[in-house]
Chain A
Amino acid sequence: MKIVTFAVPCYNSSAYMKKCIETLLPGGEDVEIILINDGSSDDTGKIADEYASQYPGLVKAIHQENGGHGEGVNTGLKNASGMYYKVVDSDDWLDAPGMLKVIETLKQLINSGKNPDMMICNYVYEHAEDNTRHIVNYTNVLPENRIFTWEEVGSFKPSQYLLMHSVIYNTELLRKSGMVLPKHTFYVDNIFVFQPLPYVKTLYYMDIDLYRYFIGRSDQSVNEQVMIKRIDQQYRVTRIMIDSFSQLKLPDKKLDQYMLNYLSVMMAISSVLSVISGLKENLEKKAELWSYLKSKDEKLYIRLRYHLLGRISNLPGRAGRKLTVYLYRLLRRKYKFN
């Protein structure tokens, strides 16, 4: 049985995908590596096929029409045979010894019949420009090396929100959650770490710097100017998150609070980007988003309205810490708060 399926969505990744794949191969027979060639126009498909033929039973190559990162994640999930599912972006990589430890732990948990719904590990920002790194860990909010529930979770610092990079889901749980990411849309990783959470009852955390998140190439989607250009996609994702959270009555207070915080940050980013862009049409979209929320769930609307400014300075993950500072500065100027 395959313990983990690693899905690697690849779009024109020929220059760097090898490094990513090579760090997954040591998983050997316990893992399945699905390379999803998302309609690339470079050698990505060829490289994927080469790995698949060189490592049969370990690497699969799937070619699809271009559908974006989210569609790659969907395709990987559809084809996954591993008990757990992990997305690794083709420009990022895993720490191989750490990965082996995680697999060994999952194996033991599966054998004892106590396999968690979600495994969480640390991730590391690898900055290309200055060769520095920044580790995000959860030692202050999550118990280590044992099964726990949301009740035992502490309060996450905003820089600590769970990202696609920090989670490994039970594959069946993801399928049960019905999550399907929209095509041709950036920032869908937010949906990935949001919508399935109510299905997650048991968690497990290992203080291992597993995921290496590469930052620094200018075409990456966290660059703030790029974010403004892609504002419609930010809105689309936020709406989907509203849909999955509104009218939800979560028995777990901690989980409810966590999801509320996360959604509020998404609302804040959308709003702030509209403001920065200075375009009238974007401000209209911002107003539409808020009224959409109000129509969906008025209580939630009220909760979030009062929640916004407290959270605005704290942006998760892909948005990045640099952007946080930038937005904070802008917000201060525009809204003259503080």
Chain B
Amino acid sequence: MSSAYDCLVIGCGFAGAVIGRELAERAGKKVLIIEKRSHIGGNAYDFTNNDGILLHKYGPHIFHTNFKRVFDYLSRFTQWRDYSHEVLANVYGRLIPVPFNLNSLYMTFEPHKAKKVEEKLIFTFGLNKKVTIGELKAQTDDDLVELADYVYKNIFLYYTQKQWGTSPEHVDPSVTARVPILISHDNRYFQDTYQGMPANGYTSLFENILNHPDITLLLNYDAVSHIKMKDDKVFLDDEEFTGTIIYTGAIDELFSCCFGPLPYRTLDFEFETHDVEWYQEKGTINYTVDMPYTRITEFKHLTGQVLSNRTVIMKEYPGEYTGKNGQIPYYAILNNKNVELYQKYKQRTDSLNDFHLLGRLAEYKYYNMDAIVERALALADQLCCKEGKE
């Protein structure tokens, strides 16, 4: 079978689908994509449940980007529904916008105090700037430090502990930086130029990306069962594969976790159907001081579906990834030890010819959807270009 294909792509999430399409379309290659799940789209997969409600199986996915190229590229395969995600934090019953912004400030402190702090923030950092918890705590002004402490305790601490199962000091700064304070009255969760939701859902977007005569897709096809590595050669179903290989799966699994498994955080999702039109006022509410789950998302806000008497919400419970019972690795735990372990696996692939790692799991990195599409397009540039010179 393998001799019939120029390229083998392992995994059919954003990384695999986009690179597969690019290799088929721009480089004229015959592409075989194998995917171990029974569906396309990776963790962005969405589906309609028995009540006709469109749900994101692996947690809420909201598209946002500043890359024009990425937006234009995906716009070939989908139309967009205008949607600006807003998130509220439930702090002892009071709902305030997050990232913590100037509106949150006025909801938290009495007006006179809020006004004073607003002026200091704008004076120190400037309007419409993003400040991280760390930066704020480093200030000498008592009001700003008090604000930092408030945000740290009520918005950041417990939420982060739930999310990472650890105290914030042990979390990599790149992760801490993702929880900023916004010096603005803009309640949107993202400030990117382009944001929205695929008009017919993500699965439909993926179907369109994959709809190319030179792409063959095999679902329920687990690379671990079908791919073997021997003497710097890769075998697909016992036949040597000599073409381009793009691996987007978990890199440790490719080598049977021979150096030990790479640590991840996983998520457990609990879906609930409620016989009301709306369960909560915004798409996502974070539980930052109580509750065992981190957040509740109500999908109808995201998808724009109109249904008068029914809605589905999802509670997220983060946990330690053990690799058992169908658990899914969601977030790489970035620290020196883990990155070193990742490097050991990566070195095993260095000697392989025309073998490329792409995506969250293969590169052990945090990528947003737009970032991985950008990476896939860049890799395609590189591969198509190389092809041209030969």
- A283 on the B face (CB < 8 A): no
B237 surroundings in chain A (CB, below 8 A): 19, 23, 93
Residue pair B225, A97 in contact (C-beta under 8 Å)? no
A55-B220, A95-B1, A97-B1 as given contacts; A28 in contact with B38, CB under 8 Å: yes
CA distance A25 to B221 in the complex (A): 7
In the complex, the answer to whether A18 meets B216 with C-beta atoms within 8 Å is no
Interface centre among B1, B220, B225, B226 (most CB of A within 10 A): B220
**Interface 1/0s, chain A 82-107, versus B by CB < 8 A?**
00000000000101111010000000
Q: Mark B210-232, 1 if CB is under 8 A from A, else 0.
A: 00000010111110011000000
Q: What is the minimal beta-carbon distance from A175 to any residue of chain B, in angstroms?
A: 28
A-B contact count (CB 8 A): 37
A22 touches B222 (CB 8 A): yes
- Asked whether any CB of chain A lies closer than 8 Å to the CB of B87, the reply is no
**B225 partner residues in chain A, CB cutoff 8 A:** 18-19, 22
Q: How far is the CA of A22 from the CA of B236 in the complex (A)?
A: 13
Cα(A55)–Cα(B326), bound, Å: 12
Tell yes or no: A154 within 8 A of B by CB: no
Asked whether A26 is an interface residue with its Cβ less than 8 Å from the other chain, the reply is yes
> Which residue on B lies nearest to A18, using beta carbons?
B225
A residues in contact (CB < 8 Å) with B: 18-19, 22-23, 25-28, 55, 58, 93, 95-98, 100
Q: Which of A22, A27, A98 contacts B226 (CB 8 A)?
A: A22
**Apart from A25-B220, A97-B32: 6 A-B pairs, beta carbons within 8 A:** A19-B225, A22-B221, A26-B220, A55-B38, A96-B221, A97-B218
With A18-B225, A22-B225 in contact, is A97–B4 under 8 Å at CB?
Answer: yes
CB distance from A22 to the nearest CB of B (A): 5
Residue in chain A with minimal CB distance to B39:
A28
**In whole angstroms, what is the CA distance A23 to B1 when docked?**
11
A93 partner residues in chain B, CB cutoff 8 A: 237
Inter-chain contact B1/A28, CB cutoff 8 Å: no
A27: B residues at CB distance < 8 A: 220
**Within B217-263, which residues are at the interface with A (CB < 8 Å)?**
218-222, 225-226, 237
List 29 A-B residue pairs with CB atoms under 8 Å apart, sorted by A's residue number. A18-B225, A19-B225, A19-B237, A22-B220, A22-B221, A22-B222, A22-B225, A23-B237, A25-B221, A26-B218, A26-B219, A26-B220, A26-B221, A27-B220, A28-B38, A28-B219, A28-B220, A55-B220, A58-B38, A58-B220, A93-B237, A95-B1, A96-B218, A97-B1, A97-B4, A97-B32, A97-B218, A98-B1, A100-B216
- Determine the chain B residues whose CB is within 8 A of the CB of A95 once the complex forms: 1
Closest Cβ of chain B to A304, distance in Å, is 41
- Judge whether B218 and A100 touch: CB under 8 Å: yes
* Complex alpha-carbon distance, A96 and B34, angstroms: 10
Complex alpha-carbon distance, A72 and B4, angstroms: 34
| Distance, CA A158 to CA B209, complexed state (A) | 46
CB closest residue in chain A, given B221? A26
Q: Mark B1-19, 1 if CB is under 8 A from A, else 0.
A: 1001000000000000000
| Cα–Cα, bound, A55→B226 (Å) | 18
A56 to chain B, nearest CB (A): 11
Residues of chain A with a CB closer than 8 A to B219's CB: 25-26, 28
| Most chain B beta-carbon neighbours within 10 Å: one of A19, A22, A27, A58 | A22
Please name all residues of chain A whose beta carbon is closer than 8 Å to the beta carbon of B221 when the two chains form the complex: 22, 25-26, 96
CA distance A25 to B32 in the complex (A): 16
Shortest CB-to-CB span from B32 to chain A, Å, is 7
